[in-house]
């Protein structure tokens, strides 16, 4: 089986690879979401996709120069992340995996927070209550259960289906094709179905789980994965930012309205390596990568914008923003101080724990005992 | 004036849970078969009638899902009391407990709190089939970020479950299942000591026996027999496995000079191992003999017809006492 075997005839697409825009009749309910977008929304989508790519490139370079321990590039997944990110409401909660740098951009996360994780300064440390963007989850699939639990809480709080759109809330969780093999994802789909949680399961199928093709993770298209549990699914062209936005926005609206969970599979591609430690030339053909580069989400959306009369000035402006962000990230990374050693003893528990207290005291005494020049 | 009510350990946990649920409507109870049935040990019996299905509900039979959703609910401001039906069924949740629940406060640098209680009926001696009689506490004690306590009597059961629910850290609450029906007085007015403090249950001078959970009754029986033979044993109920109240143990060892640790768990890399190591560090010059551990064998939990020989009993504790006294 190949990736193409998992493509659904009913995959939602609004922008062709050539950038031609149309809303087929069967996708009219999604098309309604595009009709509400303004020109400024379109420009924002492009600007953020371009920013995401530049940020990614800069972070990869920083890793290559020894400034970061690791980087997980998301090149090629910009439409899936920026489109879906803007489909999430301003009060909804987001439970990401570890490659959702673009979703972070759409919800105003300080990108240095992500850099700090990859540099080894901390394990996250932002406030998920405030940002609504929860901490990166590195153990695959674990976050999907947290999302479901949070969404169960929304049900208990009566924040679902009240008819007051400003008050109702929903949850989205991100994961990849590889994570779908984890038991936690199946349990999360089950708990979501049973509790009819206000929730979207957003699977970015980037075709590769490190070196394993999606055909080694599933025998049926992933958008169907939830159906046996009672979670309906929809497949969307993950390199079409408009389709990703519309499908996410609609199913988040449905979730908030009390219509239960949905699984969205965004068909996309990981152009880069799994992480900077990976070597994709060992397991996939360059011709495959090239065929997906031809479906580049930024190029496609650029064609669309140009066809609507957006001029070169705008794209130059995006380049300038990218230059600025890259320089800022670089400068801020070099300026990052190493964390003080006492950090390792902090926040292990919310109340003092004698083992930790004792070991911290020991370390302080030990360090104080260093002779001149020994440290 | 204090009111004392006689009740079993299972009833005391039930009463403590009900009180915690009455005092805080964010407290939820869920797990397998906890609602209508009241759990396979009936510990949650009657809670559905009082609190309704939004406060206590059955989960699918998916332990990782139970803990994973409890984590999400904690992020939404709920305090979940989850039940793992039997000790041997906890392992599908091991990942969520050790990589997520235990670490999220640290990962978030304190922005998130994890008030999740995991109730685990544990230990053997009930004639059960495989996977229903285990003592997995050491796996969890090894993981930083978890608090682990285990009551041995109804009064502690009543109060410690409430202290566990009130904690803003994750607490694993190990319930000595073969003692569920053991009765004792519960003081409904005055909370006892901190849930992490050990307690001297019987004072003695010749040797100290440290024990926890189901072995407390066994150790007290051993102390009775020893007394008839003129040996005075001090018995300490540990009550907490993480953290361990080493201060109380060392204080006792300074008096008796001899220490035996009794546990149902097998000895290798166990709570007893940690106590032995630590007491040698903290009280070396007070020890008249090496610290001995009395646990079960390092083999899979045997079929029920053999568990009597597998589990430590009062005689094996007395044998260890004889050995430490022989130095």
Among B117, B291, B79, residue whose Cα is nearest residue A153: B79
**Which positions ≥6 away from A286 have C-beta within 8 Å?**
none
Tell me the C-alpha distance between B109 and A123, whole Å. Answer: 8
Going by pLDDT thresholds of 50, 70 and 90, the confidence category of residue B2 is confident
Q: Answer for the pair B289, B325: CB distance below 8 angstroms, yes or no.
A: yes
Tell me the C-alpha distance between A146 and A129, whole Å. Answer: 14
Q: How many angstroms separate the CA of residue B170 from the nearest CA in chain A?
A: 9
Provide mean pLDDT across the span B80-92: 98
Angle between helices A183-195 and A142-156 (to 10 degrees): 10
Q: Answer for the pair A92, B72: CB distance below 8 angstroms, yes or no.
A: no
Check CB contact under 8 Å for A142 and B108. no
| Residue labelled with tokens 């797990």 | B31
Provide mean pLDDT across the span A76-101: 97
Structure tokens of A217? 């993770």
Asked whether the predicted pLDDT for residue A152 surpasses 70, the reply is: yes
| Residue labelled with tokens 């005992």 | A369
Check CB contact under 8 Å for A349 and B96. no
Asked whether the predicted pLDDT for residue A375 surpasses 60, the reply is: no
Going by pLDDT thresholds of 50, 70 and 90, the confidence category of residue A206 is very high
pLDDT tens, position by position, A43-55: 999 999 999 999 9
Q: What is the mean pLDDT of chain A?
A: 95
Asked whether the predicted pLDDT for residue B207 surpasses 80, the reply is: yes
Tell me the C-alpha distance between A249 and B244, whole Å. Answer: 51
Output the pLDDT for position B119. 98
Going by pLDDT thresholds of 50, 70 and 90, the confidence category of residue A6 is confident
Asked whether the predicted pLDDT for residue B192 surpasses 90, the reply is: no
Among A48, A56, A97, A96, residue whose Cα is nearest residue A74: A56
Output the pLDDT for position A371. 75
Check CB contact under 8 Å for B110 and A350. yes
First to last CA, chain A: 58
Tell me the C-alpha distance between B160 and B15, whole Å. Answer: 11
Percent of chain B whose pLDDT exceeds 90: 98
Going by pLDDT thresholds of 50, 70 and 90, the confidence category of residue A1 is low
Asked whether the predicted pLDDT for residue A353 surpasses 60, the reply is: yes
Element at B294 (helix H, strand E): strand B292-296
- Please give the model's pTM, rounded to 2 decimal places: 0.97
Q: Answer for the pair B39, B45: CB distance below 8 angstroms, yes or no.
A: yes
- Which of chain A's residues have a Cβ under 8 Å away from the Cβ of B164? none
The single residue of A283, A308, A349, A353 carrying the catalytic annotation is A283
* Interface predicted TM-score (ipTM): 0.96
Whether chain A has a CB inside 8 Å of the CB on B104: the answer is yes
Asked whether the predicted pLDDT for residue A207 surpasses 80, the reply is: yes
H helices of chain B, in order, are 9-23, 47-51, 63-75, 94-95, 104-107, 137-141, 154-166, 215-228, 246-256, 271-282, 307-310, 314-325
Based on the residue annotation, tell me whether B132 is a catalytic residue of this protein.
yes
Closest residue to A124, CB basis, from B69, B107, B147: B107
Element at B242 (helix H, strand E): strand B240-242
Check CB contact under 8 Å for A148 and B69. yes
Tell me the C-alpha distance between A148 and A270, whole Å. Answer: 27
Provide mean pLDDT across the span B232-242: 98
H helices of A140-234, in order, are 142-156, 183-195
Whether chain B has a CB inside 8 Å of the CB on A142: the answer is yes
CA A354, distance to chain mean position in Å, is 39
Check CB contact under 8 Å for B96 and A145. yes
Check CB contact under 8 Å for A125 and B54. no
Tell me the C-alpha distance between A219 and A235, whole Å. Answer: 16
The interface residues of chain B toward chain A in range 144-163, judged by CB-CB distance below 8 A, are 144-145, 147
Q: Answer for the pair B102, B143: CB distance below 8 angstroms, yes or no.
A: yes
Neighbours of A72 (CB within 10 A): 26
- Which of chain B's residues have a Cβ under 8 Å away from the Cβ of A152? 69, 72-73, 76
Element at A213 (helix H, strand E): strand A212-213
pLDDT tens, position by position, B273-305: 999 999 999 999 999 999 999 999 999 999 999
Asked whether the predicted pLDDT for residue A372 surpasses 70, the reply is: no
Q: Answer for the pair A229, A190: CB distance below 8 angstroms, yes or no.
A: yes
């Amino acid at each position: 089986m190949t990736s193409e075997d998992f493509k659904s005839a009913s995959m939602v697409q609004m922008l062709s690879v050539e950038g031609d825009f149309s809303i087929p009749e069967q996708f009219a309910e999604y098309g309604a979401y595009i009709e509400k977008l303004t020109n400024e929304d379109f420009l924002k989508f492009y600007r953020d996709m371009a920013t995401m790519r530049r940020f990614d490139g800069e972070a990869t370079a920083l890793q290559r120069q020894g400034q970061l321990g690791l980087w997980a590039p998301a090149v090629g997944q910009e439409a899936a992340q920026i489109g879906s990110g803007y489909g999430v409401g301003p009060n909804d909660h987001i439970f990401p995996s570890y490659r959702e740098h673009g979703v972070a951009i759409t919800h105003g996360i300080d990108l240095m927070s992500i850099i700090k994780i990859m540099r080894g300064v901390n394990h996250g440390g932002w406030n998920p209550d405030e940002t609504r963007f929860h901490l990166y989850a590195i153990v695959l699939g674990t976050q999907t259960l947290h999302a479901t639990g949070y969404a169960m809480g929304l049900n208990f709080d009566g924040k679902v289906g009240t008819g007051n759109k400003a008050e109702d809330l929903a949850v989205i969780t991100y994961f990849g094709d590889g994570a779908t093999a984890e038991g936690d994802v199946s349990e999360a789909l089950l708990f979501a179905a049973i509790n009819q949680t206000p929730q979207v399961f957003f699977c970015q199928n980037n075709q590769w789980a490190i070196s394993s093709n999606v055909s080694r993770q599933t025998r049926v298209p992933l958008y169907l994965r939830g159906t046996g549990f009672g979670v309906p699914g929809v497949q969307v062209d993950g390199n079409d930012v408009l389709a990703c936005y519309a499908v996410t926005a609609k199913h988040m609206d449905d979730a908030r309205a009390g219509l239960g969970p949905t699984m969205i599979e965004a068909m996309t591609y990981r152009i880069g390596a799994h992480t900077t430690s990976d070597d994709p030339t060992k397991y996939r053909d360059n011709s495959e990568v090239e065929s997906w580069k031809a479906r580049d989400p930024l190029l496609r959306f650029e064609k669309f914008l140009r066809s609507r009369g957006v001029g070169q000035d705008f794209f130059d402006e995006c380049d300038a923003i990218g230059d600025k962000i890259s320089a800022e990230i670089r400068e801020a990374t070099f300026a990052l101080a190493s964390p003080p050693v006492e950090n390792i003893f902090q926040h292990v528990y919310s109340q003092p724990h004698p083992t930790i207290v004792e070991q911290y005291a020991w370390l302080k005494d030990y360090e104080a005992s260093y002779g001149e020049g020994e440290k | 004036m204090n009111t004392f009510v006689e009740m079993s350990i299972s009833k005391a946990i039930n009463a403590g849970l009900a009180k915690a649920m009455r005092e805080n409507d964010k407290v939820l109870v869920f797990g397998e078969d906890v609602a209508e049935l009241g759990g396979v040990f009936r510990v949650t019996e009657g809670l559905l009638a009082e609190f309704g299905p939004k406060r206590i509900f059955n989960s699918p039979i998916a332990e990782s899902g139970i803990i994973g959703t409890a984590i999400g609910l904690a992020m939404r401001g709920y305090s979940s009391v989850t039940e793992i039906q039997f000790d041997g069924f906890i392992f599908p949740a091991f990942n969520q407990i050790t990589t997520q629940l235990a670490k999220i406060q640290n990962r978030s640098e304190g922005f998130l709190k994890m008030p999740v209680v995991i109730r685990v009926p544990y230990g053997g001696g009930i004639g059960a089939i495989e996977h229903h009689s285990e003592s997995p506490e050491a796996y969890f004690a090894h993981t930083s970020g978890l608090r682990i306590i285990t009551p041995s009597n109804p009064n502690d059961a009543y109060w410690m479950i409430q202290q566990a629910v009130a904690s803003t850290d994750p607490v694993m609450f190990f319930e000595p299942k073969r003692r569920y029906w053991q009765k004792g007085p519960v003081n409904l007015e005055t909370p006892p000591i901190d849930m992490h403090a050990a307690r001297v249950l019987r004072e003695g001078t010749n040797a100290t026996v440290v024990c926890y959970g189901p072995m407390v009754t066994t150790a007290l029986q051993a102390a009775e027999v020893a007394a008839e033979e003129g040996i005075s044993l001090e018995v300490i109920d540990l009550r907490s496995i993480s953290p361990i109240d080493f201060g109380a143990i060392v204080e006792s060892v300074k008096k008796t000079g001899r220490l035996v640790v009794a546990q149902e768990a097998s000895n290798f890399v166990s709570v007893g191992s940690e106590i032995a190591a630590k007491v040698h560090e903290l009280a070396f010059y007070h020890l008249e003999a090496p610290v001995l551990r009395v646990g079960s064998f390092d083999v899979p939990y045997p079929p029920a017809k053999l568990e009597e020989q597998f589990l430590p009993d009062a005689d094996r504790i007395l044998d260890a006492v004889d050995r430490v006294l022989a130095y």
